Amino acid sequence: MSGNTIGKLFTVTTFGESHGLALGAIIDGCPPGLALSEADLQRDLDRRKPGTSRYTTQRREADEVKILSGVFEGKTTGTSIGLLIENQDQRSKDYSKIKDRFRPMHADYSYEQKYGLRDYRGGGRSSARETAMRVAAGAVAKKYLAEKHGVEVRGYLSQLGPIKAEKVDWDVVETNPFFCPDPDKIPEMETFMQALRKSGDSIGARLTVVASKVPVGLGEPVFDRLDADIAHALMGINAVKGVEIGAGFDCVEARGSEHRDELTPQGFTSNNAGGVLGGISSGQDIVAHIALKPTSSILIPGATIDQQGQPVDVITTGRHDPCVGIRAIPIAEAMLAIVLMDHLLRNRGQNADVHCSTPVIPASRN
Amino acid sequence: MSGNTIGKLFTVTTFGESHGLALGAIIDGCPPGLALSEADLQRDLDRRKPGTSRYTTQRREADEVKILSGVFEGKTTGTSIGLLIENQDQRSKDYSKIKDRFRPMHADYSYEQKYGLRDYRGGGRSSARETAMRVAAGAVAKKYLAEKHGVEVRGYLSQLGPIKAEKVDWDVVETNPFFCPDPDKIPEMETFMQALRKSGDSIGARLTVVASKVPVGLGEPVFDRLDADIAHALMGINAVKGVEIGAGFDCVEARGSEHRDELTPQGFTSNNAGGVLGGISSGQDIVAHIALKPTSSILIPGATIDQQGQPVDVITTGRHDPCVGIRAIPIAEAMLAIVLMDHLLRNRGQNADVHCSTPVIPASRN
Amino acid sequence: MSGNTIGKLFTVTTFGESHGLALGAIIDGCPPGLALSEADLQRDLDRRKPGTSRYTTQRREADEVKILSGVFEGKTTGTSIGLLIENQDQRSKDYSKIKDRFRPMHADYSYEQKYGLRDYRGGGRSSARETAMRVAAGAVAKKYLAEKHGVEVRGYLSQLGPIKAEKVDWDVVETNPFFCPDPDKIPEMETFMQALRKSGDSIGARLTVVASKVPVGLGEPVFDRLDADIAHALMGINAVKGVEIGAGFDCVEARGSEHRDELTPQGFTSNNAGGVLGGISSGQDIVAHIALKPTSSILIPGATIDQQGQPVDVITTGRHDPCVGIRAIPIAEAMLAIVLMDHLLRNRGQNADVHCSTPVIPASRN
Amino acid sequence: MSGNTIGKLFTVTTFGESHGLALGAIIDGCPPGLALSEADLQRDLDRRKPGTSRYTTQRREADEVKILSGVFEGKTTGTSIGLLIENQDQRSKDYSKIKDRFRPMHADYSYEQKYGLRDYRGGGRSSARETAMRVAAGAVAKKYLAEKHGVEVRGYLSQLGPIKAEKVDWDVVETNPFFCPDPDKIPEMETFMQALRKSGDSIGARLTVVASKVPVGLGEPVFDRLDADIAHALMGINAVKGVEIGAGFDCVEARGSEHRDELTPQGFTSNNAGGVLGGISSGQDIVAHIALKPTSSILIPGATIDQQGQPVDVITTGRHDPCVGIRAIPIAEAMLAIVLMDHLLRNRGQNADVHCSTPVIPASRN
> How many domains are there within chain C?
1
Residue B29 in marked binding region? no
C171 within domain boundaries: yes
Cα distance from N-terminal residue to C-terminal residue, chain D: 42
Is residue D361 a part of any domain in this protein?
Answer: no
Query: How would you class C238 by CB atoms within 10 Å of its CB: exposed for 0-12, middle for 13-18, buried for 19 or more?
Result: buried
Q: What is the DSSP letter of C178?
A: T
C210–chain B nearest CA distance, Å: 24
Q: Which residues contact A61 (CB under 8 A, 6 or more apart)?
A: A49, A50, A51, A87, A88, A89, A129, A132
Residue C114 contacts A, CB cutoff 8 Å: yes
**CB-CB: which of B2, B16, B17 is closest to D29?**
B2
| Residues of chain B found within 8 Å of residue D16, distances taken between Cβ atoms | 68-69, 80, 82
pLDDT at res. D51: 67
Contact status, residue D165 vs residue D156, Cβ threshold 8 Å:
yes
B68–D21 CB contact, under 8 Å: yes
- Domain that residue D78 falls in: 5-351
Cα separation, B113 vs A243, whole angstroms: 27
Q: Which among C303, A105, C69, A339 has a CA at the least distance from the CA of B278?
A: A105
Q: How confident is the model at residue B51 (pLDDT cuts 50, 70, 90)?
A: low
CA nearest to C275, candidates C267, C266, C284: C284
Q: Which residues of C75-88 are buried (b: 16+ CB within 10 A; e: fewer)?
A: bbbbbbbbbbbbbe
What residue type is assigned to position D243 of the chain?
Answer: V
Check the annotation: does B4 bind a ligand: no
Q: Which chain C residues are within 8 Å of B32, Cβ to Cβ?
A: 351, 353-354
For chain B, what percent of residues have pLDDT higher than 90? 84
Q: How confident is the model at residue B92 (pLDDT cuts 50, 70, 90)?
A: low
CB contact set of C198 (below 8 Å; sequence gap of 6+): none
- Name residue D140's amino acid: V
- The residues, any chain, with a CB within 8 Å of residue D230's CB and separated by 6 or more, are C235, D243, D245, D286, D288, D335, D336, D339
Q: Would you say C105 and C115 are in contact if contact means Cβ atoms under 8 Å apart?
A: no
Cβ separation of C350 and B353 shorter than 8 Å?
A: no
Whether residue A366 is predicted with pLDDT greater than 90 in this model: the reply is no
**B330 within some domain:** yes
Q: State the Cα–Cα distance between residues D143 and D340, nearest whole angstrom.
A: 12
Neighbours of chain B (3+ CB pairs under 8 A): A, C, D
pLDDT digit string (tens) for A175-207? 999 999 999 999 999 999 999 999 999 999 999
- In Å, what is the CA distance from A25 to each residue of A148, A333, C85, C138, D351? 23, 17, 15, 20, 22
Alpha-carbon distance of B353 to C148, in angstroms, equals 9
**A366 Cα to chain C: minimum distance (Å):** 39
Whether C307 maps to a domain, the answer reads yes
Q: Has residue A102 got a pLDDT over 70?
A: yes
B360 has a pLDDT exceeding 80: yes
| Contact by Cβ (8 Å): A121, A18 | yes
pLDDT computed for residue A144 by the predictor: 98
Pick from A80, A148, A346: which is nearest to D353 by CB?
A148
B329-351 and C329-351 helices, crossing angle to 10°: 130
Each residue of B33-47: pLDDT tens digit?
999 999 999 999 999
What's the pLDDT score for residue B94? 63
B82: nearest CA partner in chain D? D15
Digits of tens for pLDDT over chain D (366 positions)?
588 999 999 999 999 999 999 999 999 999 999 999 999 999 999 998 876 777 777 666 788 999 999 999 999 999 999 999 999 866 656 677 788 999 999 999 999 999 999 999 888 999 989 999 999 999 999 999 999 999 999 999 999 999 999 999 999 999 999 999 999 999 999 999 999 999 999 999 999 999 999 999 999 999 999 999 999 999 999 999 999 999 999 999 999 999 999 999 999 999 999 999 999 999 999 999 999 999 988 889 999 999 999 999 998 776 678 999 999 999 999 999 999 999 999 999 999 999 999 999 998 765
pLDDT per position as a tens digit, C279-291: 999 999 999 999 9
Average pLDDT in the C77-91 region? Answer: 89
CATH of the domain at B322: 3.60.150.10
Q: Which residues of D67-89 are buried (b: 16+ CB within 10 A; e: fewer)?
A: bbbbbbeebbbbbbbbbbbbbee
Nearest to B241 among A245, A256, A260 (CB): A245
Which member of D273, D300, D307 has the closest CB to residue C358?
D307
Residues of chain C contacting residue B76, judged by C-beta atoms under 8 Å apart: none
Chain A residues closer than 8 Å to D278 by CB? none
pLDDT at C331 over 80: yes
Mind listing the pLDDT tens digit for each residue in C203-253? 999 999 999 999 999 999 999 999 999 999 999 999 999 999 999 999 999
Beta bridge mates, C13 = C5, C26
The candidate with the shortest Cα–Cα distance to A322, out of A182, A169, A200, A141, is A200
D82 reaches A (C-beta below 8 A): no
Of the candidates B32, B31, B22, B26, the one whose C-alpha atom is nearest the C-alpha of residue B6 is: B26
Amino acid identity of D12?
V
The pLDDT of residue C318 = 65
What is the model's pLDDT at position A56? Answer: 72
Cβ-proximal residues to C350 (8 Å cutoff; 6+ apart), any chain: B9, B29, B31, B78, B345, B349, D2
- Rounded percentage of chain A residues whose pLDDT exceeds 90: 85
Looking at residue A1, its pLDDT comes to 57
Percent of chain A exceeding pLDDT 70 equals 95
**Does residue C136 belong to the interface with chain D, where contact is any CB pair within 8 Å?**
no
Q: Is B293 annotated as a binding residue?
A: yes
pLDDT tens by residue, D214-272 = 999 999 999 999 999 999 999 999 999 999 999 999 999 999 999 999 999 999 999 99
Global pTM value: 0.97
Beta-carbon contacts of residue D343 (< 8 Å; ≥ 6 apart): D218, D219, D220, D226, D229, D281
Considering only the beta carbons, identify the residue of A8, A68, A114 that sits closest to C24.
A68
CA distances (Å), origin C308, targets B189, C112, D159, D263 = 75, 12, 42, 13
Does the residue C34 lie in any domain?
A: no
* B234 falls within a domain: yes
Tell me whether residue B297 is annotated as binding. yes
Residue B343: inside a domain: yes
Query: Is there a contact between C171 and C177 (Cβ–Cβ < 8 Å)?
Result: no
Given CB atoms, is D96 within the 8 Å cutoff of chain B? no
D110 touches chain C (CB under 8 A): yes
Residue A68 has pLDDT above 60, yes or no: yes
CB atoms < 10 A from the CB of C331, how many? 28
- Residue C123 within any structural domain of the chain: yes
Q: Which residue from D133, B262, D351 is spatially nearest to D141, judged by alpha carbons?
A: D133
A183 interface with B at CB cutoff 8 Å: no
The Cα–Cα gap between B126 and B110 comes to 11
> Does B125 contact D at CB distance below 8 Å?
yes
Q: For residues D89 and D49, is the Cβ–Cβ distance under 8 A?
A: no
Across the range B160-180, mean pLDDT stands at: 97
Q: Are A29 and D350 in contact (CB under 8 A)?
A: yes
Residue contact B11–D32, C-beta within 8 A: no
Task: Using the predicted structure, report yes or no on whether residue C1 has a pLDDT greater than 60.
Answer: no
Q: Do B282 and A109 touch (CB under 8 A)?
A: yes
Give the distance from residue C76's alpha carbon to the nearest chain B alpha carbon, in angstroms: 12
Cβ separation B9–D2 shorter than 8 A = yes
Check if D33 contacts A (Cβ < 8 Å): yes
